[in-house]
C-alpha cells in the first residue's frame, strides 16, 4: 500500500481514537467533576482507578497493533506506532476543547498518564512532544519509502531512549515529590491503600520543569538529526526543521513558567485570511498568542494555503501547489495595540510530483485588539532558505511580503 494512502488511513484511525478518548473523559468528568475539572483531584473509587489504568494499557495495545498491521519491519512499525500515538494525543485535546471548552489554554495543567505513576504537566508539553514524534515517524517512513535503510542504529536508539527517559522524569517529578513527602517509593504504588489515595487526591501542581523537558527534547531532536544525516536532498531542510522545533521548545522553556501565572485578559486566538508571505498566494491561518508577564507576546501559527505556477507566456494550465505554513514569533511593543514582530517560519510545498520544505526569518508589524472579538491585522516580510533552488525550478510564485486580516477571539 502506498505511503500516502496508508497515512490517510492511520491518521483517520488515530483521530477517531482521539475522539473516543475524549468521550470517555467527558463521561468521567460528568461523574467526578460536575462543576468542571480542577486540582486537587476528586476522590477516585479504587475500582474506577483500576479500570482507568487498564483502559490506558488497552489503548497502548491498540496503538501497537496499528504499527504491527501497517508495516513489516520493526522500524517502520515503530514509526506508525508513534505517529498514531501523537495524532491521537493532539486530537484528544482538540475534541476536549470542542466538547467542554477545556483546556482554557495550552498552559492548563492536566493528568497526562498513569503508568507507572501519575504524569502531569501543562497541555503544551505533550503537544510539543507529539510534534516531535510525528517528525521522527516521518523521517523513518520517508527513508523507507525512498528505498533507504530505515533500521535505527543502536546509538540512535540510545539517544531516543535517553531523551524519552528525561522527558518522563520531568512529567512525573512534581507529583512524585508530593507523594514522596508522605510515603516511600514502594508505598506509592499501593493504589488500594486509602491513605495513599487520600494524599494523591490532595495533589495540586506546583511547578513544571521546562528545562528538564527542553533537555529531553534536545536529546531526541539531535538523535533524529543524526539518523536523518545522509539523505541527500532532504537532509539540510530536515536539519533546519529540527532546529526550528528545538527553538520553539527552548522559547517555551524560557518563558512558559512565567506565562502560566499570567491571566489572559485579551483575545489570544486568531483566525486569519492571508495574502502572500508564506509561499502561498492565499492561505488560512490559526494563531495562538501567549501574553507574558515580562512584556513580550509569543505567537505560534499554523495554516494551509494554495499557490500555482507562474506561466505568463504559457497557454497551458498552471501547476497547483498545496502549502502548509507554520511560524513562531516574538512580538514586542508598548503593551497596547501595536507590536513589532520577529521570528522564524517554515513552509511545506507539495503536489503530486514535488515535495519541498524551506524555512525563513520573519519581520513585521502586528495590530492586536483589546476586545473579544476584535479585528486583527498583520503585515510582514520574509526571505526563504533551504531548497529554494528546487522551488525556483517549479516557477511557483513566492511574494516576499504578506498581509493578514483576522478575527481575534
The tens digit of pLDDT for each residue in 276-328 reads: 887 788 889 888 887 766 567 888 888 888 887 665 455 566 678 888 888 88
Question: What pLDDT was estimated at residue 231?
Answer: 47
Q: Between residues 122 and 181, which one has the greater pLDDT?
A: 122
- With a cut of 80, say whether residue 236 has pLDDT above it: no
Give Cα 166 to chain centroid, integer Å: 18
Question: What pLDDT was estimated at residue 85?
Answer: 92
Tell whether 161 and 202 lie within a shared domain.
Answer: yes
Could you say which of 196, 231, 254 is where a domain stops?
254
Listing DSSP states for 64-103 in one string gives HHHHHHH-SSHHHHHHHHHHHHHHHHHHHHHHHHHHH---
- With a cut of 70, say whether residue 243 has pLDDT above it: no
Question: What pLDDT was estimated at residue 185?
Answer: 67
Tell whether 204 and 277 lie within a shared domain.
Answer: no
Q: Between residues 253 and 182, which one has the greater pLDDT?
A: 182
Tell whether 93 and 210 lie within a shared domain.
Answer: yes
Read off the pLDDT of each residue in 201-219 and give the average, rounded to a whole number.
81
Domain range spanning residue 240?
3-254
Question: What pLDDT was estimated at residue 265?
Answer: 63
Looking at the 3D structure of the chain, how many domains does it have? 2
- With a cut of 90, say whether residue 84 has pLDDT above it: yes
Find out whether 343 and 327 touch, Cβ atoms under 8 Å: yes
Assign 405 a pLDDT band (cuts: 50, 70, 90): very high
Tell whether 179 and 325 lie within a shared domain.
Answer: no
Dihedral (C-alpha) 131, 137, 140, 143: value to the nearest 10 degrees?
-80
Dihedrals phi, psi of 297, to nearest 5 degrees = -115, 120
Average pLDDT taken over every residue of the chain: 79
Taking 3-state DSSP, the helix, strand and coil percentages for the chain, each rounded to the nearest 5, stand at: 50, 25, 30
Tell whether 318 and 176 lie within a shared domain.
Answer: no
- With a cut of 90, say whether residue 82 has pLDDT above it: yes
Most confident of 4-18, 100-114, 147-161: 4-18
Could you say which of 254, 283, 304 is where a domain stops?
254
Which DSSP letter does residue 381 get? Answer: E
Rounded Cα distance between 257 and 259, Å, is 5
Find out whether 320 and 312 touch, Cβ atoms under 8 Å: no
pLDDT in tens, 134-187: 888 988 888 888 777 778 888 888 888 888 888 888 888 888 888 887 777 677
Assign 251 a pLDDT band (cuts: 50, 70, 90): low
Q: Between residues 44 and 140, which one has the greater pLDDT?
A: 140
Say which residues have a Cβ less than 8 Å from residue 158's Cβ, sequence separation at least 6.
Answer: none
Question: What pLDDT was estimated at residue 302?
Answer: 86
Tell whether 246 and 288 lie within a shared domain.
Answer: no
**Beta bridge pairs of residue 406:** 272, 376
Q: Between residues 73 and 390, which one has the greater pLDDT?
A: 73
The pTM (predicted TM-score) of the whole model is 0.60
Tell whether 315 and 341 lie within a shared domain.
Answer: yes
Count of CB atoms situated within 10 Å of the CB of 125: 26
Tell whether 52 and 107 lie within a shared domain.
Answer: yes
- With a cut of 80, say whether residue 264 has pLDDT above it: no
Dihedral (C-alpha) 230, 232, 238, 240: value to the nearest 10 degrees?
100
Question: Could you tell me whether strands 385-386 and 374-382 are parallel, antiparallel, or unpaired per DSSP bridges?
Answer: unpaired
Tell whether 80 and 217 lie within a shared domain.
Answer: yes
Tell whether 213 and 269 lie within a shared domain.
Answer: no
Tell whether 123 and 143 lie within a shared domain.
Answer: yes
Rounded Cα distance between 331 and 341, Å, is 4
Assign 234 a pLDDT band (cuts: 50, 70, 90): very low
Question: What pLDDT was estimated at residue 295?
Answer: 62
Tell whether 214 and 281 lie within a shared domain.
Answer: no
The CATH number of the domain holding residue 378 is 2.40.160
Could you say which of 254, 271, 301 is where a domain stops?
254
Amino acid at each position: 500500500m502506498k505511503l500516502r494512502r496508508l497515512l490517510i488511513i492511520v491518521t483517520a484511525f488515530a483521530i477517531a481514537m482521539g475522539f473516543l478518548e475524549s468521550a470517555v473523559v467527558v463521561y468521567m468528568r460528568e461523574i467526578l467533576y460536575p462543576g468542571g475539572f480542577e486540582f486537587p483531584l476528586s476522590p477516585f473509587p479504587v475500582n474506577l482507578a483500576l479500570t482507568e489504568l487498564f483502559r490506558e494499557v488497552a489503548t497502548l495495545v491498540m496503538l501497537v497493533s496499528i504499527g504491527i498491521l501497517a508495516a513489516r519491519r520493526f522500524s517502520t512499525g515503530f514509526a506508525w506506532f508513534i505517529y498514531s500515538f501523537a495524532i491521537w494525543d493532539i486530537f484528544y485535546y482538540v475534541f476536549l476543547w470542542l466538547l467542554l471548552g477545556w483546556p482554557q489554554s495550552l498552559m492548563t495543567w492536566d493528568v497526562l498518564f498513569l503508568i507507572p505513576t501519575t504524569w502531569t504537566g501543562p497541555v503544551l508539553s505533550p503537544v510539543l512532544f507529539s510534534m516531535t514524534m510525528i517528525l521522527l515517524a516521518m523521517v523513518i517512513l520517508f527513508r523507507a519509502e525512498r528505498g533507504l535503510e530505515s533500521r535505527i542504529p543502536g546509538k540512535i536508539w540510545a539517544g531516543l531512549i535517553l531523551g524519552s527517559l528525561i522527558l518522563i522524569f520531568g512529567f512525573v517529578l512534581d507529583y512524585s515529590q508530593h507523594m514522596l513527602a508522605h510515603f516511600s517509593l514502594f508505598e506509592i504504588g499501593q493504589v488500594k491503600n486509602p491513605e495513599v489515595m487520600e494524599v494523591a487526591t490532595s495533589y495540586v501542581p506546583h511547578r513544571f520543569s521546562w528545562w528538564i523537558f527542553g533537555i529531553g527534547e534536545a536529546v531526541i531532536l539531535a538523535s533524529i538529526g543524526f539518523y536523518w544525516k545522509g539523505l541527500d536532498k532532504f537532509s539540510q531542510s530536515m536539519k533546519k526543521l529540527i532546529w526550528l522545533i528545538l527553538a520553539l521548545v527552548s522559547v517555551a522553556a524560557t518563558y512558559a513558567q512565567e506565562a502560566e501565572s499570567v491571566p489572559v485578559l485579551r483575545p489570544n486566538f486568531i483566525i486569519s485570511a492571508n495574502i502572500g508571505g508564506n509561499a502561498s498566494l492565499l492561505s488560512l491561518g490559526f494563531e495562538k498568542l501567549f501574553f507574558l508577564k515580562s512584556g513580550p507576546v509569543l505567537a505560534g501559527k499554523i495554516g494551509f494555503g494554495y499557490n500555482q505556477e507562474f506561466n505568463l507566456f504559457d497557454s497551458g494550465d498552471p501547476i497547483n501547489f498545496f502549502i502548509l505554513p507554520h511560524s513562531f514569533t516574538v512580538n514586542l511593543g508598548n503593551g497596547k495595540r501595536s507590536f513589532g514582530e520577529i521570528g522564524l517560519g517554515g513552509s511545506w510545498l507539495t503536489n503530486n510530483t514535488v515535495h519541498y520544505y524551506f524555512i525563513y526569518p520573519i519581520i513585521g508589524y502586528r495590530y492586536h485588539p483589546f476586545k473579544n472579538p476584535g479585528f486583527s491585522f498583520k503585515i510582514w516580510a520574509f526571505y526563504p532558505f533551504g531548497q529554494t533552488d528546487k522551488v525556483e525550478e517549479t516557477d511557483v510564485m513566492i511574494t516576499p511580503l504578506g498581509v493578514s486580516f483576522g478575527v481575534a477571539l
